[in-house]
Chain A
Amino acid sequence: MPETHYTADEMMTIAAARMLRNGTVCFVGIGLPSAAANVARLTHAPDVVLIYESGPIGTKPSVLPLSIGDGELAETAETVVSIPEMFAYWLQGGRIDFGFLGAAQIDRFANINTTVIGDYRGPKTRLPGAGGAPEIAASSKEVLITLRQNKRAFVPKLDFVTSGGHFDGGDARQRMGLPGKGPVAVITDLCIMTPDHATKELTLTSLHPGVTLEKVMESTGWPLKVSTHLAVTPEPAEVELSVLRDLNERTARAHAGQA
């Protein structure tokens, strides 16, 4: 890959941030989604409403939270609700435009696994588990997924389906009664994939600058479909990069210190 003035992770976070439309309501997962959602809020989407599952609604943290419920999320929120209220009224009540999730494993229909690698009862690696993800994936009107791309993550078959994407494709999701539209984009450090309109299989639609098609293929555990209108993701603008870097710097400073 040629030298760039930004990293692949920065490109991923910024490309993910761009997906979040201003004025929408976003249920934010911790980690990569949280970084992307806050970059969106600090750049093109000042009126995005960020919701974290711990209860804060309309939060505006100055640094990225380490946990899903850091104090600053509550201090800068419009309101803080209880957990039963959050999942019942706000999520299942259909008030979320975008669910923003990470994943350990993903398959070609954007189903995701955050539970276990290997057999559930005799696991090779035990992962943290579901958290809010199954219902975020089910009830948000649209779902964005962001994770780093490699063959361990992009697998032909999930070891465990924690949260449903488009299941085995087509209208499977509707038939199973999930209210939201499901995943609309997967944003990685290499590219952007979106589900095919009819089959719902993930299709490569945009390569990040300098990334080759071969690189994406060898980082994907199945023969990835490629759009006939394959685009190149616009490079990060200076303002996007400076916002992200300032945010990361403030965050590192805030989380340092002695145990």
Chain B
Amino acid sequence: MESLATLLSLKEAIQEYVHDGATLALEGFTHLIPYAAGHEIVRQKRRDLTVIRMTPDLIYDQMIGTGCVSRLQFSWGGNPGVGSLHRLRDAVENSWPRPLEIVEHAHAGMAAAYAAGAAGLPFGMLRGYLGSDLPKYNPQIKFIECPFTGERLAAIPAIRPDVTIIHAQKADHRGNVLMWGVVGVQKEAALAAKHAIVTVEEIVHKLDASPNAVVLPSWVVSAVCEVKGGAFPSYAQGYYARNNAFYKAWDAIARERDSFEDWMNRYVFGVKDFHEFRSAVEAARA
């Protein structure tokens, strides 16, 4: 008998499930990125984390720049449509604020590895990395021969995070979770983990999900936390749009260590939760 998800505050959920040295996946492909959870991890000063994400995005730039992370597994590390993730680059190029080990993939490999994690298989398989230099630098990428056709295929060890954290549109009072739109790799990432924490825009009486909707049943989720706006500056389809202007503004904020630290001190360490962060950002805009 599996236990149902507990409705917790985000602060409680991070305290209970995210420990120093843990392997975490905060997923969400452009859409539904769990920013509130990332901020809470930064605020609680977790250290030596191995973090996994296909697209590190600003959320891992913030966690890397504040020293939470010792190892990163990823497949595309930029600020989409804008340029570099400057904190990620500073860590890779100059070991600031601490050395960062990188384990680098392509999207197709990460997707296969998450799917294998969800399936309880030892590795993910794909027709991939052919002729790429990535396998020379990443010992996680091996090649196998198809036992039936002899075709050369890539094999990547399954991703099995201690904790996966995602953001979704809705949960019901029992902790069943519903998401839609660009759903990325979140279902696989949640099923691959020992514990899944889901932040949601709202908790509703009834999900009213269509039979083929992307629903995570409560019994595969450890904790559900209601955090309205918790994906900002990414977006939640049906609730708010991606704040492209913020993504552009981040380039200047993160470019220098000083301006980055000032911003983190003011907007993350200087507030008690994501609600206060949103208010502080709103106030600065007014």
Chain B residues near A82 (CB-CB < 8 A): 183-185, 187-188, 214
Q: Is the CB of A55 within 8 A of B127?
A: no
**B222 proximal to A (CB < 8 A):** no
Write the chain B residue with the least CB distance to A138.
B130
Q: Which residues of A contact B (CB under 8 A)?
A: 30-31, 53-56, 65-71, 73-75, 80, 82-84, 86-88, 91-92, 111, 115, 120-121, 123, 125-135, 138-139, 160-164, 167, 173, 176-179, 254-259
Interface size on B, residues (CB 8 A): 62
Rounded to whole Å, the gap between the CB of A195 and the closest CB of chain B is 15
Q: Which residues of B contact A (CB under 8 A)?
A: 29-31, 54-55, 74-78, 80-82, 84-85, 88-89, 92-93, 104-108, 111-112, 114-115, 126-134, 137, 151-152, 181-185, 187-188, 214, 233, 235, 237, 241-250, 285
Chain B residues near A125 (CB-CB < 8 A): 93
Q: Is the CB of A87 within 8 A of B241?
A: no
Rounded to whole Å, the gap between the CB of A53 and the closest CB of chain B is 6
Q: Is the CB of B185 within 8 A of A259?
A: no
* C-alpha gap A86/B54 in the complex (Å): 14
Do A71 and B137 form a contact, CB below 8 Å, given A84-B114, A126-B88?
Answer: no
Chain A residues near B241 (CB-CB < 8 A): 71
Chain B residues near A123 (CB-CB < 8 A): 92-93
* C-alpha gap A259/B286 in the complex (Å): 11
Do A256 and B245 form a contact, CB below 8 Å, given A92-B127, A130-B75?
Answer: yes
Write the chain B residue with the least CB distance to A52.
B182
Chain A residues near B93 (CB-CB < 8 A): 123, 125-126
Q: Is the CB of B30 within 8 A of A67?
A: yes
* C-alpha gap A132/B112 in the complex (Å): 13
Chain B residues near A164 (CB-CB < 8 A): 130-132
Q: Is the CB of B128 within 8 A of A54?
A: no
Do A255 and B183 form a contact, CB below 8 Å, given A128-B78, A129-B75?
Answer: no
Chain A contact residues: over half helix, strand or loop, or mixed? loop
Chain A residues near B75 (CB-CB < 8 A): 129-131
Q: Is the CB of A55 within 8 A of B182?
A: yes
Chain B residues near A132 (CB-CB < 8 A): 76, 106-108
Do A67 and B242 form a contact, CB below 8 Å, given A87-B126, A129-B77?
Answer: yes
Q: Which of B84, B126, B248 is in CB contact (< 8 Å) with A259?
A: B248
Q: Which of A54, A120, A176 is in CB contact (< 8 Å) with B30?
A: A54
* C-alpha gap A241/B78 in the complex (Å): 30
A-B contact count (CB 8 A): 193
Q: Is the CB of B81 within 8 A of A65?
A: yes
Q: Is the CB of A259 within 8 A of B285?
A: yes
* C-alpha gap A188/B187 in the complex (Å): 40
* C-alpha gap A134/B105 in the complex (Å): 10
Do A162 and B29 form a contact, CB below 8 Å, given A84-B185, A126-B89, A177-B152?
Answer: no
* C-alpha gap A164/B246 in the complex (Å): 34
Do A129 and B111 form a contact, CB below 8 Å, given A30-B81, A71-B181, A176-B130?
Answer: no
Q: Is the CB of A131 within 8 A of B134?
A: no
Q: What are 18 A-B contacts defined by CB distance under 8 Å?
A: A54-B182, A55-B182, A67-B242, A71-B242, A80-B183, A88-B112, A125-B93, A126-B88, A128-B76, A129-B104, A130-B106, A134-B131, A135-B127, A161-B131, A162-B133, A167-B131, A178-B130, A259-B248
